[in-house]
Chain A
Amino acid sequence: MLKIKNIHARVEDKTILNGINLDVKPGEVHAIMGPNGSGKSTLASVLAGREDFEVTEGSIEFLGKDLLKMSPEDRAREGVFLAFQYPVEIPGVSTVNFMKTALNKIREYRGQDTLDAVSFLTLMKEKIKLVDIDQSLLSRSLNESFSGGEKKRNEIFQMAMLEPKLAILDETDSGLDIDALRIVANGVNKLQTKDNATIIVTHYQRLLDYIVPDYVHVLYNGKIVKSGTKELAMELEEKGYDWIKSEMEVA
């Protein structure tokens, strides 16, 4: 599904990614862990097509297509979804209108009929249950004066609405209390099928107690320095990132 080959990327003059290789197949859950500044969020941004990052080397193939050639909106329409670490507050645009526009633009792109108001509302009500989000919140300006937890739930709600093939969760657990974390994780798990894949970008292991990864990769200085199964995450939690750092220095 996703083939990342030797990706190098920089922001302005600073190189952040130094040759990332990663293969993600349908049905898989990958966790990308690493200390602050290791390049985790940059990788997520590069996948979603954020303009500030320049890819200087390497390739990314998504479902057989060259992802790097696509605009952010086309990536979304092909099935890539990024749950933002810091969801943007947009005054004057309600979540409902935003989602209706997004969903219909994606459907148009895929040659499907656009949804009328009633079908959209029915779909929305069904998806709301998944993340236990207050419907009145969705009529308000997007993320404006939402709590941290509400913002993250709103991200997962959007994910549920758009049904992506590849979901990238960028530090979705940051700023969540344990109850919100459980709700968010539960939502993600329910959306997981054998046909789609999830990449979880996280600093801490705790989200992985709820969303169990098939693979865990450790990112350090812009490279994947260690890959393993969920046990690797436990080991990291126990030994801390200094363990990776010292291991790297020895090498």
Chain B
Amino acid sequence: MNTATKKENISSSFIESFDFAQFQFAVEQRTKAYEAFKAMGLPDAKSEEYKFAPVSKWLTKHFSAAELSTQAIAANESVKDLLNPEFAENRVVFVNGFYNKALSSITSDSKITIQPLGEAIASNPSLPFDQLNTTDPFGLVNSTLWSDGLYINVPKNITEKKPLFIHYLHDASSNKVSAHTKLFVTVGENASFNIIEKTDTLGDQPVFNTINEEIIVEENAFFNYCKIQNDAGQLTHVANTTIHQHKSSRTDTYTFTLNGKLIRNNLNIIIDGEGCDSHFYGLYLTNGDTLVDNHTTVDHKKPNSFSNQLYKGLMDGKSKGVFNGKIFVRPHAQKTNAFQSNRNLLLSEDTTVNTKPQLEIWADDVKCSHGCTTGQLDKEALFYLQSRGIPKATAKAMLLYAFAGEVLDVIKDEQLKNYIDSIVSERLHKVY
């Protein structure tokens, strides 16, 4: 038997042994997702989409199918020490993939529905929580094995400025954790909603965590979404976030990746109306052996919309960065403006970045641009600062902070901005 067949067998026996009998809700959808996953298989090193992110390798090394299927709510009391005091006011907490009522406290406008997704489906079996079918293999794993999730419905004309903080905690102090949740949000016409999400892990056993998110942004609505990835655990995380924008809506997303083992963010935006505005910002500041892979897709289906992506990376240690940005402009999506920029600074010899813009434009009257740069700290700039009496270490910190600052500056929520800024400043030794 050659190695390839052997691997194939590990992969297929792994997939064959999935067990989701413990979940009594959404059984039909689970079965469907599982069948699709079985047909697709785990993406290997030859897979175009996962060639730089060895999620399958990591997963089959650390988890058996039985371990992956076993999901337990049990957690050490001290897992709550991971909660952020900064975001105590309006939060929803999940522990090991299960909604935790005791740690949650929701103070959003009472007209807004915020409830565990399992419960929402139980009361309304026709809730269309997975209408934007994912084709990502780990998205399908999520749809097969998900334990719970969150359903948010913002009725029309409701503006809620206060962000809802969704905190996913994992207790990996003595056991491996397999945690899979969904988020389903509808922001109604003229409504506005703001989400901050974060994961944190206790202990150093492996954690495999997937999240599928579907967000519908109705006409003239505004959706603001921020992901804080600063997990100190042995976390492999795959997110599939799909945002469906209707006419004249606006979406701002921020993805901050500061720690973690293997982080894969699939962010898909469907611009399905005219006059939409979409802004996607990313900052990854990594060291150690963190791998962060941002895959974005912006699909301009309708004319006269604007999208802008700015992803910046500061990589140190042996960390790896991947950016893949797809922009589709459909034939009748004329007068589209779509911009994309990915800039990276490599701070050590052992870091690598793979960046790939992918633009497919079928319309002829559009303005699209993309650019990616990867380089080291500008020596001339460093010398300029030093020549004015600023010590080299401080000069370096100033330049790095200025590089990151372009993304920090655009955060609108002051509290969030201060929080991210303090982490970034500390990381970059901003002491001037």
Binding between chains A and B: yes
| List of B residues within 8 angstroms of A206 by Cβ | none
| List of B residues within 8 angstroms of A88 by Cβ | 378, 380-381, 383-384
Instruction: Tell me the minimal C-beta distance from A19 to chain B in angstroms.
Output: 25
Q: Is A58 an interface residue (CB 8 A)?
A: no
Max chain A C-beta neighbours (<10 A), residue from B386, B387, B399, B406: B387
Report A109-123 CB contacts with B as 1/0, cut-off 8 Å.
100000000000000
B389 adjacent to A105 (CB under 8 Å):
yes
Q: Is A129 an interface residue (CB 8 A)?
A: no
Report A169-209 CB contacts with B as 1/0, cut-off 8 Å.
00000000000000000000000000000000000000000
B402 adjacent to A162 (CB under 8 Å):
no
B402 adjacent to A92 (CB under 8 Å):
yes
Q: Is A76 an interface residue (CB 8 A)?
A: yes
| List of A residues within 8 angstroms of B389 by Cβ | 73, 76-77, 102-103, 105-106, 109, 162
CB nearest neighbor in B for A109: B389
| List of A residues within 8 angstroms of B380 by Cβ | 88
**Interface size of B as a range:** 20 to 34
| List of A residues within 8 angstroms of B406 by Cβ | 91-92
Report B372-384 CB contacts with A as 1/0, cut-off 8 Å.
0000001111011
Contact among B383, B392, B394 with A50 in the assembled complex (CB-CB below 8 Å) = B383
Q: Which residues of A40-60 have CB atoms within 8 Å of chain B's CB atoms?
A: 48-51
Q: Is the interface of A mostly helix, strand, loop or mixed?
A: helix
B432 adjacent to A90 (CB under 8 Å):
no
Query: Contacts A91-B406, A92-B405, A92-B406 hold; do A102 and B381 have CB atoms under 8 A apart?
Result: no
Q: Is the interface of B mostly helix, strand, loop or mixed?
A: helix
Q: Is B403 an interface residue (CB 8 A)?
A: yes
Q: Is A22 an interface residue (CB 8 A)?
A: no
Report A75-102 CB contacts with B as 1/0, cut-off 8 Å.
1110001101001101111000011011
Q: Which residues of A contact B (CB under 8 A)?
A: 48-51, 71-73, 75-77, 81-82, 84, 87-88, 90-93, 98-99, 101-103, 105-106, 109, 158, 162
Q: Is B310 an interface residue (CB 8 A)?
A: no
Instruction: Tell me the minimal C-beta distance from A80 to chain B in angstroms.
Output: 8
- 5 more contacts with CB within 8 A, not counting A73-B389, A93-B399, are A48-B387, A50-B383, A90-B402, A92-B401, A109-B389
4 nearest CB pairs, A to B = A92-B402, A76-B389, A102-B388, A72-B386
Provide the bound-state CA to CA distance between A108 and B196, in Å: 41
| List of B residues within 8 angstroms of A101 by Cβ | 390, 394, 398, 432
| List of A residues within 8 angstroms of B385 by Cβ | 90, 93, 98, 102
Q: Is B391 an interface residue (CB 8 A)?
A: yes
Count of A-B residue pairs with CB < 8 Å: 75
| List of A residues within 8 angstroms of B390 by Cβ | 73, 98, 101-102, 105
A87 adjacent to B388 (CB under 8 Å):
no
Provide the bound-state CA to CA distance between A109 and B394, in Å: 14
Provide the bound-state CA to CA distance between A158 and B390, in Å: 13
| List of B residues within 8 angstroms of A49 by Cβ | 386-387
| List of A residues within 8 angstroms of B391 by Cβ | 73, 105
- Listed A/B pairs (23) with beta-carbon separation below 8 Å: A48-B387, A49-B387, A51-B383, A71-B392, A73-B387, A73-B395, A77-B389, A81-B387, A84-B384, A84-B387, A90-B399, A91-B406, A92-B401, A93-B385, A98-B385, A98-B388, A98-B398, A99-B388, A101-B390, A101-B394, A101-B432, A105-B391, A162-B389
Report B199-211 CB contacts with A as 1/0, cut-off 8 Å.
0000000000000
Contact among A77, A90, A103 with B384 in the assembled complex (CB-CB below 8 Å) = A90
Provide the bound-state CA to CA distance between A103 and B388, in Å: 8
Contact among B386, B402, B432 with A76 in the assembled complex (CB-CB below 8 Å) = B386
